[in-house]
Structure 1
């Protein structure tokens, strides 16, 4: 199937503001010994959380936030290790289990903001684009894997995804990693997409084309 890709905007951000909810802030405030947070005005919850966090040592605060967000996926020993490593390295960019990298990014950046830079900062890339089918009657719902394959021709050869997953992007191998390379894929209106990914995996400057055409083959289950 043939598509036209038009990149409208590419942004580098240091947090996804809508990721943490007011309920998250209330739950975390409780874990940082701030009672009755639900009685506080929602506009000040984030600031209160940062104040509560700052009363703890950075590694201890990291343990609390990691346990809250990833306690079902990480053991206590892993949380201890990551909470210490986060003070020196951007663990979210290097963690071998790709399915946890997005959540680790959000945890890392919350702590980075709360401690005014004591944790190293990471980034995310948000791409706004149009992906339009060039063939009539193409009602295919694009998956993360399809979108990455369509973006192959628009990315610099220096891009780490192109270098690590060359055969997958060409359709010559299974590509389950696509689900975790793209953290979030939104399709708010026809042919318009919002792609959120790691700033380490796709940098703003690596999106080197603004308009191009690309073709992908659909698997039987996609067609």
Structure 2
């Protein structure tokens, strides 16, 4: 299937708005032993949470946040190890389980902001693009896998995504990792798409061109071969 792609914007950000909500702030303030968090005005919750975080040692604060978000995915030993590693490396980019990259990013950045840069700074990418099918009758729904295959054809050869998943992007192998590489995908209508991922996977410098044509293989086409 052929598509015409235009990259409208690529924005690098240090945090994703609305990931942490009011209930998260209140629960975390309790976990950090902050008295009467329910009396704090909504607009001040994050500032008070940052203060509560910095009352703890960095590794202890990391343990609290990791346990709050990832206790079902990680055991105590793993959480302890990651809490130490986070002070030295961008664990949210290097951790072998890709499905944990997104929550690790959000935890890392909350710690980075609270401790004013003591933790390494990680970056997310917000990309807006237009994708138009050459076949005007084509109504195929584009999911994470298809979007990544389409975008990959505009990337340079050195892009990490192309180096790690060449067969998957070419349609020669299934690509379940796509659902973890893309953290959010939103169809904005009129062939416009917005996606959020780590700069580790997609960055502005990865793209060779802002407008190009892509030809991708859908799963059903693989099955017919």
Bin of the TM-score, shorter chain as denominator length: over 0.9
Number of the residue aligned with 1:50: 50
SS of the equivalent of 1:154 reads: coil
- CA distance in structure 2 between the partners assigned to 1:110 and 1:126 by the alignment: 18
Distance 1:221 1:46, change over 3 A: farther
- CA distance in structure 2 between the partners assigned to 1:4 and 1:35 by the alignment: 56
Measure how far apart 1:165 and its partner are: 0.5
- CA distance in structure 2 between the partners assigned to 1:124 and 1:19 by the alignment: 13
- CA distance in structure 1 between the partners assigned to 2:43 and 2:51 by the alignment: 14
Gaps of 5+ in 1: none
Number of the residue aligned with 2:118: 118
Map residues 53-202 of structure 1 onto 2, 5 A cutoff.
53-202=53-202
Q: Does 1:34 align with 2:8?
A: no
Does structure 1 conserve the Cα–Cα contact (< 8 Å) formed by 2:170 and 2:217? Answer: no
- CA distance in structure 1 between the partners assigned to 2:221 and 2:63 by the alignment: 42
CA offset digits 1:171-208 (Å, max 9, x no partner)? 11111111111111111223111111111121221122
CA offset digits 1:84-104 (Å, max 9, x no partner)? 111111111100000001110
- CA distance in structure 2 between the partners assigned to 1:155 and 1:49 by the alignment: 40
SS of the equivalent of 2:219 reads: coil
Measure how far apart 1:51 and its partner are: 0.6
Measure how far apart 1:9 and its partner are: 0.3
- CA distance in structure 2 between the partners assigned to 1:186 and 1:35 by the alignment: 39
- CA distance in structure 2 between the partners assigned to 1:87 and 1:154 by the alignment: 34
- CA distance in structure 2 between the partners assigned to 1:17 and 1:179 by the alignment: 20
- CA distance in structure 2 between the partners assigned to 1:137 and 1:41 by the alignment: 52
Greater than 3 Å deviation, 4+ residue runs: none
Measure how far apart 1:6 and its partner are: 0.8
- How many residues align? The count is 223
Number of the residue aligned with 2:13: 13
Gaps of 5+ in 2: none
Distance 1:160 1:31, change over 3 A: same
- CA distance in structure 2 between the partners assigned to 1:101 and 1:76 by the alignment: 18
Does structure 1 conserve the Cα–Cα contact (< 8 Å) formed by 2:150 and 2:216? Answer: yes
Of 210-219 and 126-135, more deviation after overlay is shown by: 210-219
Distance 1:40 1:218, change over 3 A: same
Of 80-89 and 29-38, more deviation after overlay is shown by: 29-38
Measure how far apart 1:221 and its partner are: 9.2
Measure how far apart 1:39 and its partner are: 2.6
